Amino acid sequence: MNKEQIFSVSCDVDAKLFNYWSKRNYGAFSLFCAVMKVSIVLLSILFRLSFCFYVPGLSPVEYDIGDEISVKAVKVWSSDTQLPIDFYKYLSFCDLKGKHSYENLNIGEVLRGDRLVGAPFKINMLKSVKCLSACKTIQLDAEKVNELIRLIANDYMVNLDVDDLPVAVERSIGGHSHLEIGYKVGAISDNEIYLNNHLKFSIKYHGLNNRYRVVGVTVVPMSINRESLSIQSDGTCEIKSDQRGPMVLKMDTPIQFPYTYEVEWVSSEIDWASRWDVYLNTGDGQIHWFSIINSIIVIIFLTAVMAVVLLKTLRRDIASYNREEDSEEIIEESGWKLVHGDVFRPPRRSALLAAFVGSGVQLLCMTFIVLSSRGALLSAVIFTYVFMGAVAGYFSGRIYKTMRGFYWKSTALLTGMLYPGIILSVCIFINFFLWAKGSTAAMPFTTILGILSLWLLVSLPLVFIGFFFGFRKRPFEQPVRTNQIPRAIPDRKMHQNIFVT
């Protein structure tokens, strides 16, 4: 099929879809076909174009022997409390003031509660470490010990990144091994509370032409008491196997303990492009699967019940209408026919309805998925919502015009302010509690200011622009005529009151 045949077929299809419109406006229809021809040519060109980028947006980093590898702390989080905290709030006993700096994050990372900061672990390519102290010997008072015990009781886990790979713990369940991202602060067993104060990093590397890439990182957290370690002045240490025991914490009891780590290197045939594959089998303990499945089942059941009731009602009414049409007797209207002349009557709060419709269309348009870097998905959702304000304004304006509204400016303002205003107010209210808890999930003031700027300086003007053009368009055509006199609505009985039901 040649290019002209494609254009002809496209116009024939469009002619069938817009037959009524084309009969009334031949010039506009011809222009529409011309636009469609140009669109098909452009699409045929674009389909031949493609581009690739690294996921998660990072190019491979090659190291020489001895090169330092980036080790970053992301956050300390718990699936029970859903209140992530800063790594150095948990590791406050590491006196590294001035030796670590926080990285600039995108808005998605901030809203996720991430705080990327250098971790106190020094790892060099192919340089094994038998035992090294991350912090000097730590003395904690009773208050700090109680805080650590609270973190352990709430099942808090530490998230680290090595060469931008999440550090994971390898676990075996039912004969199958899987990775669990992050390691636990500690554990509770036999009414004893243990602190994981020694980390054994196992790093997989792939070598090519005397250059090396990191392709996997796992960690084994351990609990080792002070008597089991012999720490030298240069920070190196030695584990005494004959005196080895766990680091036990007790409420309201000050304690002194070391915080150490070791590093081992394992050669691997995994190439850099496949290093993320093992994370597909990670254990997602933070996802409440039972609640999600339960909600889905309830929604499906209620939807099915409503569909069955509506279908039975419609079939019965349609059958009765058909019988009435065959009968020559004049029968009083009943069922759905009673309200057919009032279905499209503008409601009393037409501006509110138009604002809801516009906000719904704006949410519907948020279908872009970006996985180019950490937090990019959440950032894309926010920016897509902001720039879809024009679409929300357009459809809100057309709906309001269809309902014969006059106050388009106030309705446009309502469309742009209603939904985001409610959501942002709730978020700021919750944010005060997160601030009080010291959680990294709390939005900084600069982030709140940035979101407000996007809303008021970008989204709201776009809503007004879209509303202006939508209000100037022809209103939607209604399939039935609305009666001049509204049908009287009988008073509801007491048991039908909205507060009772």
Mean pLDDT, range 245-263, rounded to an integer: 87
In the block, tokens 């190291």 appear at 63
- Answer yes or no: is pLDDT of 19 > 60: no
Query: Does a structural domain hold residue 39?
Result: yes
Task: Characterize 106-121 residue by residue with b for buried, 16 or more Cβ atoms within 10 angstroms of its Cβ, and e for exposed.
Answer: bbbbbbbbbbbbbbbb
pLDDT of residue 283: 52
Asked whether the beta carbons of 470 and 393 are under 8 A apart, the reply is yes
Q: In the chain, what percentage of residues exceed pLDDT 70?
A: 76
Residue 87 in 3-state DSSP?
helix
Q: What is the DSSP string of 161-219?
A: EETTEE-EEEEEETTEEEEEESEESEEEETTEEEE--EEEEEEEEEEETTEEEEEEEEE
- Answer yes or no: is pLDDT of 233 > 60: yes
Please state the pTM of the whole predicted model: 0.65
Mean pLDDT, range 243-249, rounded to an integer: 81
From 176, 179, 175, 170, select the one nearest 220 (Cα to Cα).
170
21 and 139 share a domain? Answer: no
Structure tokens at 299: 């929604």
Query: Among the listed ranges 273-282, 285-294, 405-414, which one has the minimum average pLDDT value?
Result: 285-294
- Answer yes or no: is pLDDT of 359 > 70: yes
In the block, tokens 């015009």 appear at 401
Structure tokens at 335: 């069922």
Query: Does a structural domain hold residue 200?
Result: yes
Question: 307 lies in which domain range?
Answer: 291-319
Mean pLDDT, range 197-219, rounded to an integer: 91
42 and 103 share a domain? Answer: no
pLDDT of residue 246: 85
Q: Which helix (H) or strand (E) holds 298?
A: helix 289-326
Look at 258 and 28; give whichever has higher pLDDT.
258
DSSP-derived letter for residue 79 is: T
pLDDT digits (tens, 9 = 90+) for 183-206: 999 999 888 999 998 999 999 999
Query: Does a structural domain hold residue 499?
Result: no
pLDDT digits (tens, 9 = 90+) for 441-457: 888 888 899 999 999 99
* Alpha-carbon dihedral 16, 21, 22, 24, rounded to 10 degrees: 150
- Answer yes or no: is pLDDT of 394 > 90: yes
pLDDT of residue 327: 54
Query: Does a structural domain hold residue 328?
Result: no
Nearest 5°: CA angle at 302, between 299 and 308? 135
Look at 365 and 333; give whichever has higher pLDDT.
365
> Amino acid identity of 434?
L
Beta bridge partners, 218, equal 168, 202
Residue 231 in 3-state DSSP?
strand
Q: Using pLDDT thresholds of 50, 70 and 90, give the confidence band for residue 37.
A: low
pLDDT of residue 27: 46
pLDDT of residue 32: 47
> Amino acid identity of 333?
E
9 and 102 share a domain? Answer: no
Residue 365 in 3-state DSSP?
coil
DSSP-derived letter for residue 235 is: S
33 and 167 share a domain? Answer: no
Query: Does a structural domain hold residue 339?
Result: no
Beta bridge partners, 212, equal 63, 207
Look at 8 and 71; give whichever has higher pLDDT.
71
253 and 306 share a domain? Answer: no
Look at 246 and 46; give whichever has higher pLDDT.
246
pLDDT of residue 367: 62
15 and 100 share a domain? Answer: no
Look at 328 and 343; give whichever has higher pLDDT.
343
Structure tokens at 326: 């065959």
Mean pLDDT, range 110-136, rounded to an integer: 87
Number of structural domains found in the chain: 4
- Answer yes or no: is pLDDT of 38 > 80: no
- Answer yes or no: is pLDDT of 152 > 50: yes
Beta bridge partners, 170, equal 179
191 and 228 share a domain? Answer: yes
How far is the first Cα of the chain from the last one, in angstroms, to the nearest whole number?
Answer: 62
- Answer yes or no: is pLDDT of 426 > 90: yes
Query: Does a structural domain hold residue 490?
Result: no
Mean pLDDT, range 480-493, rounded to an integer: 74
pLDDT of residue 26: 43
Query: Does a structural domain hold residue 52?
Result: no
* Average pLDDT along the chain: 78
pLDDT of residue 321: 59
pLDDT of residue 336: 62
pLDDT of residue 281: 59
89 and 217 share a domain? Answer: yes
31 and 177 share a domain? Answer: no
In whole angstroms, give the CA distance from residue 53 to residue 153. Answer: 42
193 and 262 share a domain? Answer: yes
Asked whether the beta carbons of 73 and 221 are under 8 A apart, the reply is no
Query: Does a structural domain hold residue 492?
Result: no
Sequence-separated (6 or more) residues with CB below 8 Å from residue 461: 389
- Answer yes or no: is pLDDT of 370 > 80: no
Mean pLDDT, range 237-244, rounded to an integer: 76
Q: Using pLDDT thresholds of 50, 70 and 90, give the confidence band for residue 490.
A: confident
Mean pLDDT, range 70-91, rounded to an integer: 86
Query: Among the listed ranges 247-256, 264-273, 374-383, which one has the minimum average pLDDT value?
Result: 374-383
Q: Are strands 255-267 and 198-208 parallel, antiparallel or unpaired?
A: parallel
Residue 19 in 3-state DSSP?
helix
- Answer yes or no: is pLDDT of 211 > 50: yes
116 and 30 share a domain? Answer: no
315 and 283 share a domain? Answer: no
From 384, 368, 380, 367, select the one nearest 108 (Cα to Cα).
380
Q: Which of 24-33, 238-247, 391-400 has the highest mean pLDDT?
A: 391-400
Look at 246 and 2; give whichever has higher pLDDT.
246
